[in-house]
Chain A
Amino acid sequence: MAGAASEDNPVGINVTALVDIIFCLCLFFMCSLKFRELDGKMDSWLPENKGAKSSVQMNLPMDEIRVLISYDKDRKQIQRFFVNRPVPDTAEGDSLLQKLIREQSASYRSLGKSDVPVIVDAGGGVPWKEVVKVMNMCKAENVQKIEFGMGSAAK
């Protein structure tokens, strides 16, 4: 056996300690191993030149598709508005909201404005998953630009 004492080589290396250490290391890495889950991502944009102190005046977009989401704490209910039109937080409401986004973005596209953003403007108490749900609808309708509203409904 390599390393062990033999007639030619009376000095052997005791590998037991090495095996023990490797076992411990193996156990450690096995326990800390976490297989990477399938993660997804959605691209979004923050208003440019708005956050960083800049002398550049931001041009407010004239064309936009705005979805407002707020949360009624007392009734624990989500309220959604497409521009000014209320959209219920139900499966039918989801279909309706998606249809409205589709129609509105199609009408902008027909005018040659393909990069009109959908602005998701949510209130402070709205769960993040509700905002992502609207983003998911936008992705389903091939909306290229999804922006976060930093204003009205949040206040």
Chain B
Amino acid sequence: MGFKEIKVQEEVAANLVPMIDIMFLLLLFFMLNADMSQRDLEDMKPPVANKADQDKPEENSGRITVNVHHSSTDCGQYSVPGEMCINKAHWFISVQGNRYALTESDLGALQKRLSALADANRVKPGDKTSKSERFVLIRGDHLAPYEHIQRSLERIAGAGLYKTQVAVEIEKSSLAK
């Protein structure tokens, strides 16, 4: 008996729908992790301490972060371990992504910025001379000369802010305990 062979042409195609679903989930995960508030934090190595309190972000909403950091790609001194860069032009103070050099004009601009940020929590609202209850986190590079930290402290105090916190890296060995 001669049956005629029926040729069924099947279209072979990869089902992309589950892949798209997974990709969307991954995208969501990475987007949520890329916390945009992290722009407050400049790239640096803070000093190490073993008796610090762990910083919980939920407890510090509204806190101002002042970074004192080194920023020069061609600094021979800073790249040597343990050496301290004393070139003032290589150091900056950054607040909310705005960078200020250690010059009088820039420091004046920094104080204005801090003062504007402090206004929201003044003890006497509207009075620029009254103190502010807002917290300030000072993130200094471990090798930053203290005078640069001091310049930032002066401007912080000048803006009426006095509640400060110092950012440190918690020593790994102390976490194990």
What is the distance, in angstroms, from B104's C-beta to the closest C-beta of chain A? 16
Q: Is A113 engaged at the interface, CB distance under 8 Å to the other chain?
A: no
Interface residues on A, range: 35 or more
**Interface size bucket, B side?**
35 or more
Please determine whether B147 and A42 come into contact, CB atoms closer than 8 angstroms: no
Q: Is the CB of A29 within 8 A of B33?
A: yes
**With a CB–CB cut-off of 8 A, which chain B residues contact A130?**
146
On whether A44 and B170 interact (CB within 8 A), knowing A127-B84, A128-B149, the answer reads no
Q: How far is the CB of B64 from chain A (nearest CB, A)?
A: 13
Assembled-state Cα–Cα distance A128/B131 (Å): 26
Mask for A115-149, Cβ within 8 A of B = 1, else 0? 00000001111111111110110011000000010
User: Once the chains bind, are B30 and A139 in contact (CB under 8 Å)?
Assistant: no
Cβ–Cβ < 8 Å partners of A4 in chain B: 13
Q: Which applies to chain B's interface (DSSP): helix, strand, loop or mixed?
A: mixed
Contact B50 A128 (CB under 8 A): no
Q: A51-B159, A127-B145, A128-B143 are in contact. Are A45 and B129 (CB under 8 A)?
A: no
Cβ-defined contact, B16 with A1, below 8 A: yes
Within 51-85 of A, Cβ neighbours of B (below 8 Å) are at 51-55, 69
CA distance A18 to B20 in the complex (A): 8
Contacts A46-B162, A122-B146; A136 near B13 (Cβ below 8 A): no
Chain A positions 3 through 45: 1 when the CB is less than 8 Å from some CB of chain B, otherwise 0: 1100000000001001100110110011011111111111111
Q: Which residue of B lies closest to A31 (CB)?
A: B30
Question: In the complex, what residue of chain A is closest to B60 when comparing beta carbons?
Answer: A41
Q: Do B38 and A34 have beta carbons less than 8 Å apart?
A: yes
- B contact residues vs A (CB 8 Å cutoff): 13, 15-17, 19-20, 23-24, 26-27, 30-31, 33-35, 38, 46-55, 68, 84, 86, 128-131, 137, 140-147, 149-150, 153-154, 156-170, 175
- A–B complex contacts, Cβ < 8 Å, 6 sampled: A4-B13, A19-B16, A23-B23, A42-B53, A44-B166, A46-B157
